[in-house]
């Protein structure tokens, strides 16, 4: 059921997707699996499975799990999925598979590329299109693709986003996009993404003009997340000063991301070793990659990466996702009522 009319968190987004809170789980690759997406859907949020790089077997397993778990609690209408658009350009079989399911996704989120190629098949399956963008100048193309929701991702966000030369801060990007949409596409919904991790930041997103929030790092550090427990433990002990955005971990993982995108994670010793010598790393990466791979195998996050954004300083535990969503929602309601 939608949020009751008496609450300040009743939004166009919560109405459109029949949510009890205007929160969507960010479809984080290899973290937002079926269990986390279902837990968020059961808690009243939009649960987006992290289809990420479009690996078919992974998508089949995790989306099937999300549907199975959500069906048990009547939350099927709140299950969706997200993909990296430029990877779909190489192989869209995972998207095609999920759209052909008896229970297609409620929404498909596309990020980092031109969604227009995939919009017709998403619409034909009856799924809403969410486009994640990082700059106002990208909005027109997303609207042309038929996006019903834009997710405005600030540079604070964890994982992939625009590099420091091109990224915007959530604080200024969201209200500017809200104004642009009001003038050019007033029926399009807006989510704030990047730095949204507690009731204060969820309330701030509403005050800035967003219809809701796309939450990544805070839900990454939950019981149902597929992230390694040692990585979650490291995040709990890290302040907001402790992340960095660069392409170091992309090079180490052989992820050939196009410009202008790079990756934010905890700034661990291995990252610090190479962040000022990126050209050297790119020229001769083998030894560093072996060190990184050994860290992954050992669960040593002084070498392996923990994918969180600047909101990591607001993360102090890793409880069930439902607890996080309830806490954020209750605190945001209280603050907005106070205003």
Q: State the CATH number of the domain containing residue 41.
A: 3.20.20.70
Number of domains in the chain: 2
Asked whether the beta carbons of 175 and 213 are under 8 A apart, the reply is: no
Where does 208-280 show beta strands of DSSP type E? 212-215, 243-246, 261-266
Residue 255 lies in a domain: yes
Residue 4 lies in a domain: no
Residue 303 lies in a domain: no
Quote the CA–CA distance of 219 and 46 in Å, as a whole number: 12
The string of pLDDT tens digits covering residues 179-202 is 999 999 999 999 999 999 999 999
Same domain, 248 and 331: no
Same domain, 222 and 330: yes
The string of pLDDT tens digits covering residues 35-90 is 999 999 999 999 999 998 989 999 999 999 999 999 988 899 999 999 999 999 99
Number of Cα atoms under 13 Å in the Cβ half of residue 293 = 9
Same domain, 321 and 250: no
Residue spans of the chain under pLDDT 50: 1-5
- Tokens matching residue 277: 């010598």
Quote the CA–CA distance of 29 and 40 in Å, as a whole number: 16
* Residue of 148, 142, 197 whose CA lies nearest to 16: 148
Q: What pLDDT is recorded for position 7? A: 64
Residue numbers of the domain that contains 258: 238-298
Same domain, 64 and 169: yes
Same domain, 169 and 255: no
Residue 308 lies in a domain: no
Q: 269: helix, coil or strand?
A: helix
Residue 306 lies in a domain: no
Same domain, 61 and 152: yes
- Tokens matching residue 117: 């190629």
Q: 96: helix, coil or strand?
A: helix
Residue 2 lies in a domain: no
Same domain, 275 and 324: no
Asked whether the beta carbons of 24 and 212 are under 8 A apart, the reply is: yes
Q: What pLDDT is recorded for position 339? A: 76
Residue 54 lies in a domain: yes
Residue 307 lies in a domain: no
Same domain, 243 and 220: no
- Helices (runs of H) and strands (runs of E) counted in the chain: 16, 11
DSSP structural state of residue 66 = H
Same domain, 222 and 246: no
Instruction: Quote the pTM value.
Output: 0.95
Q: What pLDDT is recorded for position 99? A: 98
Q: What pLDDT is recorded for position 192? A: 98
Asked whether the beta carbons of 40 and 27 are under 8 A apart, the reply is: no
Same domain, 157 and 181: yes
Quote the CA–CA distance of 251 and 17 in Å, as a whole number: 38
Same domain, 173 and 254: no
């Amino acid at each position: 059921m939608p949020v009751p009319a008496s609450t300040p968190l009743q939004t166009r987004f919560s109405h459109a997707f029949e949510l009890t809170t205007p929160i969507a789980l960010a479809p984080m690759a290899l973290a937002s699996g079926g269990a986390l997406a279902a837990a968020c859907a059961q808690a009243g949020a939009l649960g987006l499975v992290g289809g990420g790089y479009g690996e078919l077997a992974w998508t089949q397993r995790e989306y099937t799990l999300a549907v199975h778990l959500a069906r048990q609690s009547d939350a099927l209408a709140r299950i969706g999925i997200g993909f990296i658009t430029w990877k779909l350009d190489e192989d869209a079989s995972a998207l095609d598979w999920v759209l052909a399911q008896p229970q297609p996704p409620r929404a498909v989120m596309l990020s980092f590329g031109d969604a227009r190629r995939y919009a017709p098949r998403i619409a034909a399956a009856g799924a809403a299109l969410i486009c994640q963008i990082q700059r106002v100048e990208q909005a027109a193309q997303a609207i042309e693709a038929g996006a019903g929701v834009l997710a405005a991702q600030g540079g604070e966000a964890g994982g992939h986003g625009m590099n420091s030369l091109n990224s915007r801060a959530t604080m200024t990007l969201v209200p500017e996009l809200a104004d642009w949409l009001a003038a050019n596409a007033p029926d399009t919904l807006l989510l704030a993404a990047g730095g949204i991790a507690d009731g204060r930041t969820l309330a701030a997103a509403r005050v800035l003009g967003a219809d809701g929030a796309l939450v990544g790092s805070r839900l990454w550090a939950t019981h149902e997340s597929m992230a390694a427990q040692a990585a979650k433990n490291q995040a709990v002990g890290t302040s907001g000063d402790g992340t960095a955005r660069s392409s170091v971990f992309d090079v180490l993982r052989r992820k050939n991301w196009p410009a202008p995108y790079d990756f934010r994670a905890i700034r661990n010793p291995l990252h610090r070793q190479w962040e000022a010598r990126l050209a050297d790393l790119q020229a001769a990466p083998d030894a560093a990659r072996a060190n990184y791979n050994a860290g992954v195998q050992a669960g040593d996050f002084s070498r392996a990466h923990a994918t969180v954004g600047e909101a990591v300083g607001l993360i102090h535990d890793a409880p069930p996702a439902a607890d996080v969503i309830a806490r954020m929602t209750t605190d945001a309601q209280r603050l907005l009522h106070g205003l």
